[in-house]
Chains A and B, each alone.
Chain A
Amino acid sequence: DSGVTQTPKHLITATGQRVTLRCSPRSGDLSVYWYQQSLDQGLQFLIQYYNGEERAKGNILERFSAQQFPDLHSELNLSSLELGDSALYFCASSARDRGDFYEQYFGPGTRLTVT
């Protein structure tokens, strides 16, 4: 158990809908990262928040947005869903702000299926 929690575990929804994925980082970690994992693309970095502020942005679509709240939990909002958005979404956390230099602890993931 990494100490990172994600809800829900599974999500099935229809095209065009909007969903929210939730993540709680390890106690004391200030950085939260979101990743998308699909079969053919591997782990794609989406976005990082550090202590409530956006720190780095990766291959995140405009239909996707995220935020980190004062209690440090984070939410990833996916809207106008398409079939291609079906994937496993991981949240990870680390203690510091440099996402490339500190060990990241991954949560169990949310499997999103868009039908």
Chain B
Amino acid sequence: GQQVMQIPQYQHVQEGEDFTTYCNSSTTLSNIQWYKQRPGGHPVFLIQLVKSGEVKKQKRLTFQFGEAKKNSSLHITATQTTDVGTYFCAGGNYGGSQGNLIFGKGTKLSVKP
């Protein structure tokens, strides 16, 4: 079935360093969403990308959707301890067999102060 792969699984950075997580789909996606889950918390919606090649920014976070709509990335500039958590991408496959979001396994970010 359709899969969304996310790498790396873990990332440890020093505060102030940059961080990037990558998401790849086996099939073309209709859209992609990104969620953040703090330790002990629940996933919280960050953003949705819909258009091919789309780039969106939220303060220090930059989200990209690939031209072929099969991959996406989240880049955090100058990480802070508040960025700690697991970042999930979730691909939309409208019309697919599941008809719903397919989550990657997430990238767990730890930030050393």
Q: Number of A interface residues, CB 8 Å?
A: 26
A92 contact set on B, CB distance < 8 A: 43
**Does residue B48 face the partner (Cβ distance < 8 Å to A)?**
yes
Instruction: Check if A99 sits within 8 Å of B101, measured CB to CB.
Output: yes
B98 contact set on A, CB distance < 8 A: 45, 56-58
B residues 81-113 with Cβ under 8 Å of A?
Answer: 88, 90-94, 98-106
Q: Smallest Cβ distance from B50 to chain A, in angstroms?
A: 8
Of chain B, the residue at the smallest CB distance from A98 is: B94
**Per-position 1/0 for A104-115, Cβ under 8 A of B:** 111111000000
**What are 5 of the A-B contact pairs (CB < 8 Å)?**
A42-B103, A43-B88, A43-B90, A48-B99, A103-B45
Given A101-B48, A106-B43; 14 other pairs, CB 8 A cutoff: A33-B100, A42-B106, A43-B90, A56-B99, A92-B43, A99-B99, A99-B101, A100-B91, A100-B93, A100-B99, A101-B92, A103-B33, A104-B45, A104-B101
